[in-house]
Structure 1
Amino acid sequence: MSNTDMTQQSERVALQLRYQSPSEAHADHVQLIGQLNRSDVKLEATLQEPLIFRETMAALFAIVSSDYRYAPKDRQAYAAFMQMRRAHQNQGLAKAQRAYFDWLLKNDPLGFCILDPIISVYPNGVVFEVFSKDEGSYAMLSFDYKHFNLQGTPVYGTTNIDFSDSLAQGLEQMRSFKASTLSIGQTAVGLDTVSSTAQPDSTVLEKQVQVPNSWIRGFLQVQASAQLPTDKITLNPLDVYNLLHHLRMHADIKGKRRGLRLELIPGRYPSIILEPNDVVLDTQTEVYKGKQAKIIRLWGRRRLNLLKRILPFTETIEVGLLGNGMPSFWTMHGKGWHLTLAITGFTAANWSQALNFDLLLPRDLNHMEKVTPLLKVLEQQWVLSLEELVKQTGLNRAECRSALLQACQQGLVMYDVGANVYRYRPLTVEPLDMSHFQFRQPAEKLAYDLVHRQKALSQWQTLLLPGEGVEIAATITVKEDKRDYLAKLKLNEEGQVVKAECSCHQIMQHGLTQGPCSHLIALRIAYALRQAERNVATISQETRAFSRRKASQVEQIQLTLNEQRVFFTHEQAAKIRRQQMAFNSVNAARHAYLDKIQQLEASGFIDSTLG
């Protein structure tokens, strides 16, 4: 085996999913087959609302199979797949599926790089979890028991279920005028008609899945981020329908912005602004209850199309916002169910935005003295709120939150956004080795080490580029190499890296084809930390943008502090007015800059620096 193959193998987790038979929906009976190598989880029930179950499960299947990454056509792989399909077309369903997974493992090991949906049966309901193949969407679907007529006593626990195209097609046959039943367990329930799983050639279905570490890491971190502080707004399903209708009728323009801006002003209804033409969709559901006006810009708006089928059954939509370009949580509430879609705002390839998101989460996962007692309580109670956990564990609120965040990042606990409770849910049979998921790559580990060294980063330079972004540079001293490296990054207004340079051998020889070096990552992390620890009393360089909307007209102001100068740019109705002020000292310029910001905010302008 070559070094490249060994490296790729170490960046994946080999999982074996064994099922007695494929899951299927047949004769108004939905059978979800759980893993044989996990504890048996059972549920027998009659569905009270088959249409709601059908549409929510269809949305779940759309999310888990979604992949918005660009993929060029590969006709050779298609020809090989069709040859394999013809060779096994007369075999039973179980053998055909096993042959398909064997072929996929040999020919395209990353083609099926997702876990089957995770299902958990709790004392208060059933929960499904999925994470999309492109690492851009996480979804959690929860049904209360009021949605079912239970038959017998459920067996609580967590497992994976086989979720295939044939199951999705079977669910589409469900109708409201037909009574439908749901069975969850390791073995299939006998049906009156003979199905493919009853054929003589049916055997245990095995899937050898090579899951990339980045996929599991994204799954854990996005789910853990749900409990971080967020700005929350409430929307009507019609608001999201209008949003999706506009996206459907207006294609994205290449080279133009494709973001989604939410304009939040305390005491007013939120406004949704669609780029690049700044189309404003006003909402009338609930006013924004935050204390500070802000504009939050999101990416991945096309992923909201995955929710279109459940909009008719949705009563209210709650949106949780972490910040510009950060994950957003869209929770659809209906009668006896809720579905939370988390749009991450970044992909695995966007290391700039991904690193920025990582700064929100703790990295030290070695302290288990407070996590262990919390897990013991959750193992017994299954579902508890934060207040109940504080009472039963004896930890204070801050300690309990920290322990829960670590448990979520280790795949042992999940946070239910819609119900505001924590659920015990081990992601895999064996505990995950967190040393494989703490950092995306060795270069990232070295970068964090450099950031925390004293005087490793020096000679900082920050060049503000109005209308373009910011250019940062620093000298990075590496004692092991006995030399200094000059690293430069150019970030656009969205915080993404558009240009990167470094004097190290890797970048000089290969550029970014082998990924960013540790010096560039360290520079990006250090800059984000400096921004987070920004002290207005000591700043000497900064650019802020403000906007004020009147009907469809937008008035924009850009204010820049650069040492002893303050630059003022006013744009309204295609007219631009510029002003420059010079001062005798940085302190005087800073005071003038901050005073101007207060005047703008008092006049109704909103800080839209990153929006």
Structure 2
Amino acid sequence: MATTTEPAIEDTGEAPPPPSTGAQLGYAGASRVVTAGNSAQVELFGNVHRSPVRFEGKLKNPLRFREAVSALYAIVGSDFRYAPKDRTQYIAYLRLKRDAAPLGVWHAQQAYFAWMLRNDPTALAILDPIVSVHPDQVMFETFGKDESTYACLAFKRSAFEESQGALPTFGSTNIDFSDALYASTQQVRGYRETSLALGHDGAKPTPEGRKDVLEKKLQVPDSWLRGFLQVQSAATLPFDHVNLSPMDLYNVLRHLRMNGDRKGKKRGLRFELVPGQQPRIVAEPWETVFSTTGDVFRGKAARLVRVWGRRRLMTMKRLLPFVESVDVYLLGSGLPSFWVFRAGDITLTLGLTGFTSANWSSALGFDLMLPRKTQDGEPTKKVVACLKENRWKADAKELSAETGLKGAALVEAVQVGCQNGELMFDIANGVYRYRPVTEQPLDLARLQFRNQREKVAHDLLTRRGAVKIMSENRIAGVGLELTGQVSVEEDKRDYRPQMVLADEGQVRKVTCTCAGFRKHGIKAGPCVHLIALRLAFAEKEAKKAKTDDAVKFETRAFAKRDGEVEHVVQISLERDRVKYRWGLSGQPMRLQAMKFNTETAARSAYFTKLAKIHP
């Protein structure tokens, strides 16, 4: 049985180094762009420690290639996590002034780099993308440093003029992707004939006598690897599709560039989707409405979806002038969203999860939507074998016909395959692909949980009566206040975690009676008891969604727009009470409270009211 003792935290408050997985990358040379006269060649060296992959072809549109690679580079090194003001240089200055010697500055620099090596080993390094050569396209995949942005850059085979003598070798590998490569790609010009050469040896076999290998030894954080795999599985969930024109997105990004975020205010994009109407995008907290000019929303019911990570869309600024259309796939409020930018033969898929360390509550709720398995079952093995041996890609109907799996069994099989790093879902084309992340199988047991605290919290949930939700209090305009009781047998005491959840699952306020929280708060992440309470509430909500008979607490909100004015209606069920609120968005709302003799009568009135508002 796993111990429930929380990880020890030093008095200095410094977090222990994150768990990581070693990655051995070796390249026969550094990727570069070789220019000679009116011709240029982009040489991409693959990882020599993986199976050979080769592709050669002349680019039909070098400028689009340059801007697409530049956008990919911006995503690779993107880090939008909150960073407190860096006072390292100021402290070094005070030490220098006090000691009147330059030695203090040197010590300060060494201490800074030592801390960086322990806490963020990837801060000064760029993680190399995964490139896959398939019969229909060449793909580059990467994941942002802040573990919240996924990108897949795909070039159709029609984007190249392939020489007849150079046959491609299908497979997946890593490529050397450095600052030097980015700088050299800026030399690509439209008037130069530009070709792409991808392989272990770049453009041609290694010259005789040259055996030097560029070795990279990286410690990839397990949380980064886990997030990369999870976003693949997220793409298989049901979604709402929205079509935008490039100008629609440009208007939104221009507004964000001209207006800074407000401290303590909402920072999302709100999609208002009405069947048969063109979608509207609302920028928070200004409530600026952007009417889109793309296709109408073809869903069956009206939806109101909030997504985060809007500033990460700025990484697309260089590719946006070449984009012909934008498809947005929305999984739901507080869940990942996928943005597909189509620029002729080039497609860039941008996945925004919003799951940073500050949004741990939404991440925990999202985890419960996906299967949690550390081994491939027989159904997953069938799907992997079908894609690996026969075709490399297939849609759901083709997989069902060849494997015999149908419905939920097929969905779970492909989700497990994505989480295990063997498959990927190409949401831009609606097909599943065989794409192993690494040459050797991953240690999935290490990636099952984000950290030890989350593992202990799951262990507590398996104990009967160890985690209880004592009260649920709906606070108007704020969220749901949860109070729990977590009994830890090893500690011989009960803990009282408490949190306030917003409508989209974000945590606004937390507290706990454990020693770890009293000493460090949430600086080192949520304690075991807060995680256990959040997981218990998520499980309760999942069970409640299957039937409305047991509903005791629930709140639903509806919005209707009249020009620039948004009317909001909110209905809440609280045991034997029903509360009805209405008014204009952003202003105090009127309240009507009704008390019934029994909970059954209140529940019946609640659902009757819902049916009248939203048939």
Asked if the contact 2:71/2:315 (under 8 Å) is kept, the reply is yes
Match of residue 19 from structure 2: 11
Asked if the contact 1:21/1:202 (under 8 Å) is kept, the reply is no
The alpha carbon displacement at 1:153 in A equals 0.4
The alpha carbon displacement at 1:201 in A equals 11
Q: What SS does the corresponding residue of 2:187 show, helix, strand or coil?
A: coil
* 1:290-321 CA-partner distances (Å, limit 9, x unpaired): 12212100111111111222222222211111
2:595 to 558, 573, 582: 582
The one-letter amino acid of 1:183's match is A
Taking the aligned partners of 1:395 and 1:360, their CA distance within structure 2 comes to 20
Taking the aligned partners of 1:586 and 1:108, their CA distance within structure 2 comes to 52
2:464 to 443, 454, 472: 454
The alpha carbon displacement at 1:219 in A equals 0.4
1:59 to 61, 71, 74: 71
Asked if the contact 2:375/2:444 (under 8 Å) is kept, the reply is no
Taking the aligned partners of 1:374 and 1:296, their CA distance within structure 2 comes to 33
Asked if the contact 2:306/2:332 (under 8 Å) is kept, the reply is yes
Unpaired stretches in structure 1, ≥5 consecutive residues: 80-100, 192-196, 603-611
Residue 163 (structure 1) aligned with residue 177 (structure 2): yes
The alpha carbon displacement at 1:223 in A equals 1.4
Taking the aligned partners of 1:601 and 1:439, their CA distance within structure 2 comes to 39
* 1:257-283 CA-partner distances (Å, limit 9, x unpaired): 111000011121111011112111111
Taking the aligned partners of 2:378 and 2:122, their CA distance within structure 1 comes to 37
Match of residue 276 from structure 1: 285
The alpha carbon displacement at 1:154 in A equals 0.6
The one-letter amino acid of 1:119's match is V
Residue 363 (structure 1) aligned with residue 377 (structure 2): no
1:117-156 map, 5 Å? 117-151=129-163, 152-156=166-170
Match of residue 385 from structure 1: 395
Asked if the contact 1:114/1:211 (under 8 Å) is kept, the reply is no
> Aligned in 2, Cα 1:387/1:577: closer, same or farther, shift over 3 Å?
closer
Taking the aligned partners of 2:324 and 2:584, their CA distance within structure 1 comes to 39
Taking the aligned partners of 1:173 and 1:184, their CA distance within structure 2 comes to 19
Asked if the contact 1:113/1:212 (under 8 Å) is kept, the reply is no
The alpha carbon displacement at 1:505 in A equals 3.5
> Aligned in 2, Cα 1:600/1:392: closer, same or farther, shift over 3 Å?
closer
Taking the aligned partners of 2:289 and 2:407, their CA distance within structure 1 comes to 40
The alpha carbon displacement at 1:358 in A equals 0.8
Q: What SS does the corresponding residue of 2:541 show, helix, strand or coil?
A: helix
Asked if the contact 1:174/1:180 (under 8 Å) is kept, the reply is yes
Match of residue 597 from structure 1: 610
The one-letter amino acid of 2:86's match is K
Taking the aligned partners of 1:112 and 1:533, their CA distance within structure 2 comes to 45
Taking the aligned partners of 2:399 and 2:91, their CA distance within structure 1 comes to 52
The alpha carbon displacement at 1:10 in A equals 7.4
Residue 182 (structure 1) aligned with residue 196 (structure 2): yes
1:399-414 map, 5 Å? 399-414=409-424
Residue 504 (structure 1) aligned with residue 504 (structure 2): no
Taking the aligned partners of 1:467 and 1:120, their CA distance within structure 2 comes to 48
2:425 to 415, 439, 445: 415
The alpha carbon displacement at 1:460 in A equals 2.5
Aligned residue pairs total: 573
Match of residue 315 from structure 2: 306
Taking the aligned partners of 2:33 and 2:202, their CA distance within structure 1 comes to 11
Match of residue 374 from structure 1: 383
TM-score, scaled relative to structure 1: 0.88
Match of residue 525 from structure 1: 535
1:263 to 272, 280, 283: 272
Match of residue 546 from structure 1: 558
Asked if the contact 1:113/1:210 (under 8 Å) is kept, the reply is no
* 1:405-439 CA-partner distances (Å, limit 9, x unpaired): 11111111111111111111111122110011000
* 1:319-378 CA-partner distances (Å, limit 9, x unpaired): 111111111000112322211100012213432121111111111233422222322222
Match of residue 99 from structure 2: none
Asked if the contact 2:374/2:445 (under 8 Å) is kept, the reply is no
Taking the aligned partners of 1:378 and 1:149, their CA distance within structure 2 comes to 27
Identity, % of aligned pairs?
44
1:44-123 map, 5 Å? 44-71=56-83, 72-73=85-86, 109-112=121-124, 115-123=127-135
* 1:190-224 CA-partner distances (Å, limit 9, x unpaired): 79xxxxx99x9994221111111000000000111
Match of residue 352 from structure 1: 361
* 1:18-71 CA-partner distances (Å, limit 9, x unpaired): 111110012111000111111121111111111111111111111111111233
Q: What SS does the corresponding residue of 1:332 show, helix, strand or coil?
A: strand
The one-letter amino acid of 2:19's match is E
> Aligned in 2, Cα 1:457/1:15: closer, same or farther, shift over 3 Å?
same
The alpha carbon displacement at 1:558 in A equals 2.5
Asked if the contact 2:126/2:177 (under 8 Å) is kept, the reply is no
Taking the aligned partners of 1:103 and 1:466, their CA distance within structure 2 comes to 43
1:566 to 564, 567, 578: 578
> Aligned in 2, Cα 1:213/1:245: closer, same or farther, shift over 3 Å?
same
The alpha carbon displacement at 1:114 in A equals 5.1
Taking the aligned partners of 2:51 and 2:327, their CA distance within structure 1 comes to 34
> Aligned in 2, Cα 1:168/1:591: closer, same or farther, shift over 3 Å?
same
The one-letter amino acid of 1:577's match is R
1:430-509 map, 5 Å? 430-458=440-468, 460-509=470-519
Match of residue 108 from structure 2: none
* 1:525-568 CA-partner distances (Å, limit 9, x unpaired): 11122223324333222232222110011112222222322222
> Aligned in 2, Cα 1:393/1:595: closer, same or farther, shift over 3 Å?
closer
Taking the aligned partners of 1:520 and 1:269, their CA distance within structure 2 comes to 41
Taking the aligned partners of 1:250 and 1:394, their CA distance within structure 2 comes to 53
Asked if the contact 1:467/1:493 (under 8 Å) is kept, the reply is no
Q: What SS does the corresponding residue of 2:74 show, helix, strand or coil?
A: helix
Match of residue 567 from structure 2: 555
Q: What SS does the corresponding residue of 2:147 show, helix, strand or coil?
A: coil
Match of residue 237 from structure 1: 246
1:340 to 341, 346, 349: 349
* 1:129-181 CA-partner distances (Å, limit 9, x unpaired): 01010111000011111110112101111111111112112111212221101
The alpha carbon displacement at 1:11 in A equals 0.7
Taking the aligned partners of 2:308 and 2:406, their CA distance within structure 1 comes to 36
TM-score, scaled relative to structure 2: 0.87
Asked if the contact 2:469/2:537 (under 8 Å) is kept, the reply is no
Asked if the contact 1:478/1:484 (under 8 Å) is kept, the reply is yes
The one-letter amino acid of 2:402's match is Q
Taking the aligned partners of 1:522 and 1:376, their CA distance within structure 2 comes to 38
Q: What SS does the corresponding residue of 2:318 show, helix, strand or coil?
A: helix
The alpha carbon displacement at 1:226 in A equals 0.6
1:173 to 187, 200, 205: 187
Q: What SS does the corresponding residue of 2:297 show, helix, strand or coil?
A: coil
The one-letter amino acid of 2:270's match is R
Taking the aligned partners of 1:519 and 1:102, their CA distance within structure 2 comes to 32
1:212 to 207, 217, 221: 221
Unpaired stretches in structure 2, ≥5 consecutive residues: 1-7, 93-112
1:327 to 322, 336, 342: 336
> Aligned in 2, Cα 1:492/1:4: closer, same or farther, shift over 3 Å?
closer
* 1:99-120 CA-partner distances (Å, limit 9, x unpaired): xx99996996332465301101
Match of residue 100 from structure 2: none
Taking the aligned partners of 1:157 and 1:18, their CA distance within structure 2 comes to 17
* 1:206-263 CA-partner distances (Å, limit 9, x unpaired): 1111111000000000111111111111111111111111111222222221110000
